[in-house]
């Protein structure tokens, strides 16, 4: 992909009222109709509404805000510097095809920070509904240790007790992790992108290691958590995992639905506890 296309992808992503679905549709329609992406940034709001059926608020934001968004994109690139941050769109070879097969609405883009090669390893996750007991959390740790020693890579979230229990275990063995966050990279990892995500991990290291691990965010890098973020995070965690271990599921809850979908889509599902 050319540098110009990468820059325009970032500008589109940062434009207010252009969410994942709109972003994806704009990219696809431009490709199918032979429209250069750069042309989008010079179109009037009326033309954007007529040609792409954009809602008025999205068309106005894209037509009138290009200068401000270009400035925001420039500052963001400066802030990232030489850190290994990549914006991965659905036409990128790095985009995980398992998400297209699993997610009801695959993200139009993702931000990767760290080592994307870990996604080529066999992957697994351990999911648990909120309210897991101490015994169940200990079971999470045992499952992660067992699978890590088999050479498989953990995919986890960052801000539930079960995810936190899981995420620390690979560090004991120097093994990589994939961590999906429900907020922007800078909100999750600090302005220098060096903050370790899990306080308990500081027993083994004080800074996040992008040479070993991979953090994935579906949010704009300079923004906080998004509405519905935890549910999207959990869907991506399961979508990236070839093997799903369900330690505690609440009947009718999001984790139970994701486990059922994983089984339907042919993922290896191991239930470690009955539905609660």
* pLDDT tens figures, 103-129: 999 999 999 999 999 999 999 999 998
Domain ranges of the chain: 3-81, 113-271
> For residue 274, is pLDDT > 50?
no
Average pLDDT over residues 223-240: 92
d(C-alpha 192, C-alpha 133), whole Å: 35
Please state, for a pLDDT cut of 70, what percent of the chain lies above it. 96
Confidence of residue 203 (pLDDT cuts 50, 70, 90): low
SS3 per-residue string spanning the chain? CCHHHHHHHHHHHHCCCCCHHHHHHHHHHHHHHCCCHHHHCCCCHHHHHHHHCCCHHHHHHHHHCHHHHHHHHHHHHHHHCCCCEEEEECCCCCCCHHHHHHCCCCCCEEEEEECHHHHHCCEEEEEECCCCCHHHHHHHHHHHHHHHHCCCEEEECCCCHHHHHHHHHHHHHCCCEEEEECCCHHHHHCCCCCECCCHHHHHCCCECCCCCCEEEECCCCCCCCCCCHHHHHHHHHHHCCCEEEEEEECCCCHHHHHHHHHHHCCCEEEECCCEC
Mind listing the pLDDT tens digit for each residue in 77-87? Answer: 999 999 999 99
Topology, domain 113-271: Rossmann fold (3.40.50)
Residue 131 has pLDDT above 90, yes or no: no
Structure confidence by residue, pLDDT tens digits, 256-266: 999 999 999 99
According to the model, what pLDDT value does residue 5 have?
80
pLDDT of residue 158: 85
Share of the chain above pLDDT 90, in %: 71
Residue 2 has a pLDDT of: 67
pLDDT band at 197 (very low <50, low <70, confident <90, very high): confident
């Amino acid at each position: 992909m050319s540098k110009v296309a990468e820059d325009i992808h970032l500008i589109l992503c940062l434009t207010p009222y252009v969410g994942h679905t709109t972003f994806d549709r704009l990219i696809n329609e431009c490709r199918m109709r032979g429209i250069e992406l750069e042309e989008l940034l010079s179109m009037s709001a009326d033309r954007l509404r007529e040609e792409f059926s954009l809602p008025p608020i999205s068309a106005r934001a894209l037509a009138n805000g290009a200068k401000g968004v270009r400035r925001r994109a420039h500052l963001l690139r400066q802030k990232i510097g030489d850190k290994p941050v990549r914006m991965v769109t659905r036409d990128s070879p790095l985009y995980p095809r398992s998400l297209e097969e699993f997610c009801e609405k695959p993200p139009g883009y993702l931000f990767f920070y760290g080592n994307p090669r870990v996604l080529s390893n066999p992957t697994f996750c351990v999911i648990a509904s909120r309210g897991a007991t101490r015994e169940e959390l200990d079971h999470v740790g045992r499952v992660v240790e067992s699978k890590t020693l088999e050479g498989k890579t953990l995919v986890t979230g960052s801000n539930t007790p079960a995810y936190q229990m899981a995420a620390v275990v690979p560090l004991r063995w120097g093994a990589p992790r994939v961590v999906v966050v429900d907020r922007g990279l800078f909100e999750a990892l600090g302005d220098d992108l060096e903050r370790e995500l899990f306080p308990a991990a500081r027993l083994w290291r004080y800074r996040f290691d992008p040479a070993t691990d991979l953090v994935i965010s579906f949010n704009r890098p300079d923004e906080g958590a998004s509405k519905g973020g935890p549910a999207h995070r959990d869907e991506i965690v399961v979508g990236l995992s070839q093997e799903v271990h369900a330690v505690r599921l609440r009947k009718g809850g999001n984790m139970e639905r994701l486990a059922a979908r994983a089984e339907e889509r042919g993922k290896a599902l191991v239930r470690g506890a009955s539905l609660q």
